[in-house]
């Protein structure tokens, strides 16, 4: 869309309010912006309009059929729309009555009751009484249609959201469909095969009623017993924004929290369900000390004494500190400080090092992948590394992008590529990129669902080359470990070729980019600065080892006097004969490593849902994940433990709460300069104060404080849309995310429509040397929510006395006006 068409707005009047909107705006979108509620079921902002449920009917003046659906009608100059006229109200009541006549009255046993769009909209817009005297339609209840999904056909209102998601977005092979006709219609896979999509959880979330329910959540909770916490998925490097629903400390459900920059509001099942395994059997709940009879549970005081004793006789300069790629920024930062400043060692590594790849791990934005003309999937399994990226791919393909795969990539993809070539032909394809963009653009039949049958996959390298030769925007998807093509290929491309090629290198672990930025690296310091240039840091940290550590090759077979591992337990082989091996982890099976090199001391680290922290995702977004539930046993955040360890060495960092660490990061890491918790605004923490006592029987949360009555599809409860969208601080990667010429930035468009999807506006950019990071600070600063830090009291570690700001009586988070109305 060119800017010109957007500028020529169309003026309409809705319920007497005049508004100007870009051409092509749907009436429902206009209503959102004008703050007028129109109920919807089938409409979804991420899917094509379908006009099936008819509940969004409004009256439009001067039309042959004046009752029109707001979800399918676009604004026209001079249009006069009434949502509350007698005709509009009657039509809407009529539709709701139709939806209710065969809907069972089983709300008392329905999981959705309390967050059901049918309940909510009938209450606000429906008829007060029922005229239906006939027999209701009956289906067998609770039909299992997939491993995780149960269908209640009687409750289904045939909005087709699940069917459309399955077809349009996920492109499932055994997609959901409507089976049978008319009043007998039901959802199912036409083939009778179970619906086991890797993205299947989304259809449960999309369902506006209780027709589709997740096996994992069924009968686990009532919505009003839940507390909702804004968190970030740790399943992979995408870092999809999530809402963690907690029932009295128990994590019972994970839902998506749409953030246009990071995800589309979809989660993969892997991410959706993996947090539910928080309380695994091998969970470490207390410090464990190795004895001759196995591991012995000890207190924190004992653990720290033991640590003190063990490290006294050791030359800590000969230490190795290894951080797992899933660890949060704060713990990584603390690990770097402990290693470089306290231990004075230069050997600080990631489990998956990516040493030589750092510079080309520059993030590629989601919008670049979605708008690429040609996508090359180079032997990478998206399903393993970053399942959600496949949905970005689907989006690009739907717009006509061409897909080339190399090696065995196609067998892991849900769609058929236009060309599939062998591994050894990759070099030839890369040669094509060095040629100027060919004037005649060759394209094959677009993979618009489901016209996949419109072409045959070609195995001819020449076809792949011709597809690539005419493309000016190419996205190369590959594993970060893969050395060929190296970064130079893409960065050294001649500007005059007229081609932008970016490689999305998918890393292992959820926070590799963030940890590199923290300085978990043997050659670079925090912020990617040269170790020599860290005078300030040296001062702030009271000494700093600026030597370069070993390369991963040098590390092989080398033994250390002290090995400290954060987040995993994989470095047994590096522990010297009389060395001390200390592990910070949240799960550990004491049975497995029966060697001498089993950890001497294991300290319990909190799960990612049990403490507030930040991470950086593959596109370079710095994201805040709130504390959703109490840490199991006596576990603590990694940074807290590391701070305690430093204290043993009489190094006092003065970090007593999360804000202190964040401020220190903001002070000492150039790319995060000035960072503070306020940058994450109101998404920072729990939505309302945690019930005292924290156990069953505790007072119920104050319902008036629940932001949205219907939590299942926040952005569909339109008035509260803006407040529900996830927010992130933004770390963008320099020039690697070009804007698309001639194409309207969808976010800008969304903003014009009133969808507040960004926190970037007016931000200042700051550069980092290593990753060429820029942090753009959020706009308006809002008070952070109450911190759960006080809950660490019971662990009894005195140094973690909460700072005075958290001692204030817990304040209810400020609610937007629009949110209050609904609850």
Partner 1 sequence: MAVKNVVLEYRQLDDMHKLEAYKKAGGYSGSEKAVTSFTPEGLIEEVKESGLRGRGGAGFPTGLKWSFVPKDSPKPKYLCVNGDESEPGTAKDRELLTYLPHQLIEGIIIAGYAVGISKAFIYIRGEMKEQAEIVSEAVQEAYDAGLLGKNIYNSGYDLDVVVHRGAGAYICGEESALLNSLEGYRGFPRLKPPFPAVEGLYACPTVVNNVETLSTLPTILRNGAEWYSSMGTEKSKGTRVFTLSGHVAKPGNYELELGTPMSYLINECGGGVTGGALKAIIPGGASAPLLTAEHIDVSLDFEAIAEAGSMAGSGAVVVINDQTSIVDVCLNLDEFFQEESCGKCSPCREGTKWLMDILHRITEGHGTMEDLETLLDVCDNLAGKSFCPLGDSATSCIVSGLKYFREDFEALVKSVEKVGS
- The answer to whether residue 47 forms part of the interface with partner 1 (CB under 8 A) is no
Closest CA to 605 of 584, 582, 625, 619: 584
With respect to partner 1, which residue has the nearer C-beta, 102 or 243?
Answer: 102
Closest CA to 502 of 679, 409, 616, 366: 366
Q: CA-CA distance, 721 to 724, in Å (whole number)? A: 5
Place of tokens 């990667």: 733
- The answer to whether residue 209 forms part of the interface with partner 1 (CB under 8 A) is no
Among positions 23, 46, 89, 90, the unique one binding partner 1 when judged by CB under 8 A: 90
- The answer to whether residue 181 forms part of the interface with partner 1 (CB under 8 A) is yes
Quote the tokens at residue 428.
Answer: 């030839």
State the DSSP string of 422-471: -GGGHHHHHHHHTSPPPSS--------TTGGGGS--B--HHHHHHHHHT-
Among positions 76, 101, 652, 703, the unique one binding partner 1 when judged by CB under 8 A: 101
Among positions 108, 128, 182, 699, the unique one binding partner 1 when judged by CB under 8 A: 182
- The answer to whether residue 40 forms part of the interface with partner 1 (CB under 8 A) is no
Place of tokens 């005059």: 496
- Taking CB under 8 A as the binding criterion, the range among 176-184, 522-530, 585-593, 781-789 that sits at the site for partner 1 is 176-184
Residues 639 and 661: beta-carbon distance below 8 Å: yes
With respect to partner 1, which residue has the nearer C-beta, 130 or 428?
Answer: 130
Binders of partner 1 in range 442-481 (CB under 8 A): 451
Quote the tokens at residue 67.
Answer: 């009752």
- Taking CB under 8 A as the binding criterion, the range among 126-134, 342-350, 369-377, 630-638 that sits at the site for partner 1 is 126-134
- Taking CB under 8 A as the binding criterion, the range among 125-133, 410-418, 549-557, 760-768 that sits at the site for partner 1 is 125-133
Closest CA to 418 of 375, 450, 380, 381: 375
Give the distance from CA 113 to its chain's centroid: 27
Residues 634 and 604: beta-carbon distance below 8 Å: yes
Quote the tokens at residue 265.
Answer: 């509001």
As measured in angstroms, the least distance from the Cβ of 448 to partner 1 is 8
Quote the tokens at residue 777.
Answer: 């600070």
Among positions 49, 201, 265, 514, the unique one binding partner 1 when judged by CB under 8 A: 49
As measured in angstroms, the least distance from the Cβ of 48 to partner 1 is 9
618: phi then psi, degrees, rounded to nearest 5: -65, -25
As measured in angstroms, the least distance from the Cβ of 73 to partner 1 is 10
State the DSSP string of 380-397: --HHHH-TTHHHHHHHHH
Using alpha carbons only, give the angle 780, 786, 788 rounded to the nearest 5 degrees: 130
Quote the tokens at residue 581.
Answer: 């091996």
With respect to partner 1, which residue has the nearer C-beta, 127 or 802?
Answer: 127
With respect to partner 1, which residue has the nearer C-beta, 43 or 300?
Answer: 43
As measured in angstroms, the least distance from the Cβ of 91 to partner 1 is 5
Binders of partner 1 in range 155-174 (CB under 8 A): 157-158
As measured in angstroms, the least distance from the Cβ of 206 to partner 1 is 17
Cα atoms in the 13 Å half-sphere on the side-chain side of 149: 27
Show the binding pattern over residues 59-88: x = contacts partner 1 (CB under 8 A), - = does not. Answer: ------x-x----x----------------
With respect to partner 1, which residue has the nearer C-beta, 16 or 182?
Answer: 182
- The answer to whether residue 54 forms part of the interface with partner 1 (CB under 8 A) is yes
Q: CA-CA distance, 134 to 795, in Å (whole number)? A: 62
Run of H or E residues at 187: strand 186-189
With respect to partner 1, which residue has the nearer C-beta, 18 or 123?
Answer: 123
Total residues in contact with partner 1, by rule CB under 8 A: 38
- Taking CB under 8 A as the binding criterion, the range among 181-189, 485-493, 616-624, 795-803 that sits at the site for partner 1 is 181-189
As measured in angstroms, the least distance from the Cβ of 4 to partner 1 is 22
Alpha-helix residue ranges (DSSP H) falling in 637-707:
638-648, 658-668
- Taking CB under 8 A as the binding criterion, the range among 89-97, 436-444, 579-587, 756-764 that sits at the site for partner 1 is 89-97
As measured in angstroms, the least distance from the Cβ of 466 to partner 1 is 20
3-class SS at 804? helix
Among positions 5, 61, 106, 132, the unique one binding partner 1 when judged by CB under 8 A: 132
Among positions 17, 50, 648, 740, the unique one binding partner 1 when judged by CB under 8 A: 50
Place of tokens 């001498």: 596
Residues 213 and 149: beta-carbon distance below 8 Å: yes
Among positions 95, 162, 209, 350, the unique one binding partner 1 when judged by CB under 8 A: 95
With respect to partner 1, which residue has the nearer C-beta, 132 or 535?
Answer: 132
Q: CA-CA distance, 769 to 763, in Å (whole number)? A: 19
- The answer to whether residue 183 forms part of the interface with partner 1 (CB under 8 A) is yes
As measured in angstroms, the least distance from the Cβ of 753 to partner 1 is 21
Residues 332 and 622: beta-carbon distance below 8 Å: no
State the residues that interact with partner 1 by CB under 8 A. Answer: 49-55, 57, 65, 67, 72, 90-91, 93-95, 97-99, 101-102, 131-135, 137, 157-158, 177-178, 180-185, 451
């Amino acid at each position: 869309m060119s800017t010109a068409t957007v500028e020529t707005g169309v003026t309409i009047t809705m319920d007497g309010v005049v508004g100007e909107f870009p051409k092509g705006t749907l009436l429902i979108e206009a209503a959102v912006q004008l703050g007028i509620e129109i109920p919807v079921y089938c409409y979804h902002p991420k899917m094509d309009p379908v006009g099936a449920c008819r509940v969004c009917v409004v009256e439009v003046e001067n039309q042959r059929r004046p009752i029109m659906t707001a979800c399918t009608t676009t604004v026209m100059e001079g249009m006069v729309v009434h949502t509350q006229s007698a005709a509009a109200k009657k039509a809407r009541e009529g539709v709701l009555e139709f939806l209710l006549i065969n809907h069972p009255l089983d709300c008392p046993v329905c999981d959705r009751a309390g967050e059901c769009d049918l309940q909510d909209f009938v209450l606000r817009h429906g008829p007060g009484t029922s005229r239906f005297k006939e027999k209701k339609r009956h289906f067998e209840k609770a039909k299992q249609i997939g491993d995780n999904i149960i269908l209640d056909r009687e409750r289904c209102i045939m909005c087709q959201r699940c069917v459309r998601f399955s077809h349009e977005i996920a492109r499932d092979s055994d997609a959901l469909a409507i089976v049978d006709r008319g009043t007998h219609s039901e959802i199912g896979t036409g083939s009778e095969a179970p619906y086991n999509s890797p993205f299947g959880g989304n259809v449960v979330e999309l369902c506006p009623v209780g027709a589709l329910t997740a096996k994992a959540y069924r009968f686990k909770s009532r919505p009003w017993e839940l507390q909702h916490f804004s968190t970030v998925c740790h399943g992979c490097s995408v870092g999809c924004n999530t809402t963690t629903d907690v029932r009295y400390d128990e994590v019972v459900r994970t839902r998506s929290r749409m953030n246009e920059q990071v995800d589309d509001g979809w989660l993969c099942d892997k991410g959706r369900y993996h947090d539910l395994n928080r309380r695994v059997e091998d969970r470490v709940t207390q410090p464990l000390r190795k004895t001759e009879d196995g591991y012995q549970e000890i207190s924190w005081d004992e653990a720290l004494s033991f640590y003190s004793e063990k490290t006294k006789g050791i030359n800590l300069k000969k230490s190795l500190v290894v951080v797992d790629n899933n660890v949060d920024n704060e713990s990584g930062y603390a690990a770097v400080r402990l290693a470089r400043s306290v231990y004075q060692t230069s050997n600080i590594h990631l489990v998956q090092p990516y040493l030589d790849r750092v510079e080309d791990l520059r993030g590629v934005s989601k919008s670049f992948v979605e708008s690429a003309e040609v996508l090359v999937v180079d032997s990478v399994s998206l399903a393993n590394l970053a399942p959600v990226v496949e949905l970005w791919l689907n989006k690009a393909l739907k717009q006509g992008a061409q897909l080339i795969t190399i090696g065995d990539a196609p067998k892991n993809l849900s769609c058929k590529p236009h060309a599939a070539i062998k591994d050894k032909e990759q070099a030839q394809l890369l040669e094509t990129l060095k040629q100027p963009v060919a004037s005649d653009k060759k394209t094959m039949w677009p993979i618009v669902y489901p016209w996949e049958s419109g072409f045959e996959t070609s195995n001819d390298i020449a076809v792949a080359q011709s597809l690539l030769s005419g493309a000016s925007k190419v996205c190369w998807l590959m594993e970060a470990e893969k050395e060929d093509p190296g970064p130079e290929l893409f960065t050294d491309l001649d500007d005059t070729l007229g081609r932008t090629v970016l490689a999305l290198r998918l890393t292992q672990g959820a926070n590799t980019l963030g940890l590199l930025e923290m300085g978990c690296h043997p050659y670079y310091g925090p912020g990617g600065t040269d170790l020599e240039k860290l005078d300030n840091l040296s001062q702030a940290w009271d000494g700093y080892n600026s030597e370069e550590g070993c390369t991963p090759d040098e590390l092989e077979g080398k033994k250390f006097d002290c090995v400290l591992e954060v987040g995993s337990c994989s470095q047994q082989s590096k522990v010297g004969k009389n060395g001390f091996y200390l592990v910070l982890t949240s799960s550990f099976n004491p049975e497995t490593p029966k060697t001498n090199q089993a950890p001497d001391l294991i300290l319990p680290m909190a799960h990612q849902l049990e403490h507030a922290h930040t991470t950086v995702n593959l596109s370079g977004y710095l994201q805040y994940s709130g504390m959703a539930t109490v840490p199991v046993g006596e576990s603590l955040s990694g940074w807290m433990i590391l701070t305690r360890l430093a204290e043993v060495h009489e190094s006092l960092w003065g970090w007593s709460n999360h804000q202190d660490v964040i401020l220190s990061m903001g002070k000492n890491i150039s790319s995060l300069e000035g960072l503070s918790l306020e940058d994450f605004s109101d998404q920072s923490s729990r939505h309302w104060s945690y019930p005292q006592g924290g156990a069953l029987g505790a007072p119920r949360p104050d319902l008036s404080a629940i932001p949205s009555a219907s939590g299942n599809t926040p952005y569909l409860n339109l008035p509260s849309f803006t407040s529900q969208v996830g927010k992130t601080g933004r770390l963008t990667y320099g020039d690697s995310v070009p804007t698309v010429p001639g194409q309207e930035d969808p976010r800008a468009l969304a903003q014009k429509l009133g969808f507040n999807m960004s926190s970037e506006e007016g931000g200042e950019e700051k550069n980092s040397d290593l990753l060429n990071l820029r942090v753009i600070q959020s706009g308006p600063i809002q008070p952070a929510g109450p911190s759960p830090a006080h809950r660490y009291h019971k662990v009894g570690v005195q140094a973690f006395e909460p700072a005075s700001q958290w001692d204030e009586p817990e304040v209810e988070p400020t609610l937007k006006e629009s949110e209050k109305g609904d609850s």
